[in-house]
Amino acid sequence: MHDFNKRFRALESLVLAEKNKPPKAGKKKEARWVSVTRPDGKTSSDVIWTNKSKKKELEKELAALENRYSKEELEDLFAMLGEYLLKKTA
């Protein structure tokens, strides 16, 4: 039941975000529900907006990161980015 509740909350947040999408975002922006749980058990979650027009450019950056770092290092970077981007909601 807890998992169902979390999924519903995430979906509800995405629907609400799409309804309240900034007018100038247009079709270039797409909502994502992101959540990070830190070792102390605190969880930060928020809707972030991705820019679809930057996808190709960012995929090249990701490929470069994949060539430079191991999977474990990428996971560390992922966790750090999540904490950095969501620190306002902690």
Hey, how many other C-beta atoms are within 10 angstroms of the C-beta on 20?
A: 9
Q: For residue 18, what pLDDT is reported? A: 67
Question: For residue 60, is pLDDT > 90?
Answer: yes
Distance from C-alpha of 84 to C-alpha of 80, rounded to nearest angstrom: 6
- pLDDT tens, position by position, 8-57: 666 666 666 666 666 666 678 888 888 889 999 998 888 888 888 899 99
48 token code pair: 């972030």
> Tell me, what DSSP letter sits at residue 38?
-
Range of the domain at 8: 2-89
- Asked if 34 and 46 count as a contact pair (C-beta separation under 8 A), the reply is yes
Q: For residue 46, what pLDDT is reported? A: 86
State the pTM of this model: 0.67
27 token code pair: 């079709």
- Asked if 47 and 22 count as a contact pair (C-beta separation under 8 A), the reply is no
